[in-house]
Structure 1
Amino acid sequence: AARNRAALIAAAREVFAEQGLNAPLSAVARRAGVGQGSLYRHFADRFALASAVLDENVQQIERAGAEPGASLKGVLGVVTWHLTRSTAFVDLLRVRGDGEQARALSERVRSVLARCLPAGHRLSADDVMLAVAMVSGAVAGPTPADRERVALAAWQLLGVEVGPLRPCEAVVDV
């Protein structure tokens, strides 16, 4: 059951990034390799599924911030990877997202970034969060590679160094 849930979240991230939040949920189930009944056993509706993806995105950012030797540069690489692959979820938070949920997710990300800021850094955690919002608004393009190019160009214009773009997956015991 846990593997199916993880597969559904990964598939939803991909399908929603490719087709938007109105993509057929059957496409998510197919991509995950499960039946639609399994999807609805785990998620009551589209909003619940998208919220689970958002939460997983933030959990990955938190894991990146907890890695030995975590740095602002490295965490921003994970943040940017998610911005280039989960762009449809920005709309979810604006249109249907609960303001409290959005604030809670944002505060979790801000907390990770604040812990990774070197002492005396020219930016504050609030500045970095503003930069994340600015980059997220600039990210556009039909493919992840196109969106990555735009995101990296935006960070460069802001004078912020970003590490390799990557997810920070959990280690799954089998």
Structure 2
Amino acid sequence: MTPATIEGPRLILRPWREEDLDPLFAINGDPDSMRHFAAVMTRAESDAWAARLQAHIAEHGWGFWVVEERGGAPFVGVVGLMTIPWTARFTPAVEIGWRIAPAFRRRGFAEDAARLALGFGFGTLRLDEVVAFTVPANEPSWRLMQRLGMTADGTFGHPRLPADHPLHEHVLYRLAAPRG
């Protein structure tokens, strides 16, 4: 399937390139960037995650794209939509997620890219709903979910983390397709 590229006024959500692996690992290997995840990733784990993201795009034509600044940085982070591969009270579902490099945070890139991805999801894909989730301590992410118009829907235990793990509990947000 031909991978989608989404272009906005200042950002491009595009398929992956080999040169994206180094800046992705800079995020995934950074303890501060990964503080709300179970662990930092080794280079091999980061590359394997990128391969899974690329495989999703190859299969569906969409997924977690690389965010490129139009006329600027070739790698701001990754943002996109993905089918959730595990079972929870809200699955099957498509999630929206983001991982932005530290140098590009607090500049609106995550929100702009997420709005492009949501427009694609509700427009081109005709999704009925998109979900997002994070740990309660990740206030920047759940605040972004709120700015995107998402509504809180309680908490759930992440099925890939043991019940006694400090990051087991996640908050869930939902966004229904616009009516009209």
Could you state the TM-score of these two structures normalised by the residue count of structure 2? 0.32
The structure whose Rg is larger is: 1
- Identify the structure with the greater strand proportion: 2
- Identify the structure with the greater helix proportion: 1
Could you state the TM-score of these two structures normalised by the residue count of structure 1? 0.32
